[in-house]
Chain A
Amino acid sequence: MNVPGLVLVIALAILYSSGFYLLLQRSLMRVVFGIVMLGHAANLSLMLTDAAITLPPLLGGRSGQISDPLPQALALTAIVITFGVTTYLLALAYRVWLGDANDEVPDDLEDRRIGRLSEPEDSQ
Chain B
Amino acid sequence: MNLLLAGPFVIPLLGAGITLLLRRTPRSQQVAGVVTLAAVVADAAWLLSLTADGTVLTSHAGNWPAPLGITLVADPLAALLLTVSAVVLILVLLYAIGQDIGGLSRATPQTFHPLYLVLTAGVCLSFLAGDLFNLFVAFEVMLTASYALITQAPTRARVRASMIYTVVGLTSSILFLTGIALVYALVGTVNMADIAVKLDGAPDDLRMVLALLFLVVFGIKAAIVPMHFWLPDSYPVAITRISAIFAALLTKVAVYAIIRTQTLLFGGDDVSAVLLWIAIATMVVGIMGALVQDDINRIMSFALVSHIGFMIFGLALNTVAGIAGVMVYLVHHIVVQATMFLVNGLVRQFVGHTSLRSIRGLTAVSPALAIYFFLPAVSLAGIPPMSGFIAKVALFQAGVEVGGWLTWVAIGAGLLTSLLTLIAIFRVWTRAFWGTPLPDMLTARAELKRGPDAAGLRMMTATTGVMVAVGVLVALLGGPLVDLSFTAAHDLLDGGAYIEAVLPGGAS
Contact = CB atoms under 8 A, between A and B. Distances in A.
A110 B166 contact: no
Interface string B287-305: 0000011110010000000
Contacts of A106: 160
Contact of A38 (B160, B162, B174, B190): B174
Given A28-B163, A42-B177, A96-B163, A85 B293 contact: no
B156 A100 contact: yes
Interface size class of A (residues with CB under 8 A): 35 or more
Given A42-B177, A46-B181, A53-B188, A110 B294 contact: yes
Nearest to A54: B188
Taking chain A's interface residues, is the majority helix, strand, or loop, or is none over half, making it mixed?
A: helix
Contacts of A55: 188
A77 B144 contact: no
Given A35-B171, A38-B174, A49 B160 contact: no
Interface string B380-396: 00000000000000000
Contacts of A117: 292
Interface residues of B, number: 40
Contact of A113 (B159, B163, B170, B294): B294
Contacts of A39: 170, 174
Given A28-B163, A38-B171, A74 B180 contact: yes
Given A39-B174, A99-B159, A88 B181 contact: no
B282 to A, nearest CB: 19
Contact of B164 (A41, A105, A110, A124): A105
Contact of B185 (A23, A38, A49, A92): A49
A78 B137 CA distance: 9
Given A39-B174, A78-B177, A85-B147, A71 B184 contact: yes
What are the 3 closest A-B residue pairs judged by CB atoms, nearest first? A49-B185, A42-B177, A52-B185
Interface of B: 68, 133, 136-137, 140, 144, 147-148, 151, 154, 156, 159-160, 162-164, 166-167, 170-171, 173-175, 177-178, 180-182, 184-186, 188, 190, 233, 292-295, 298, 357
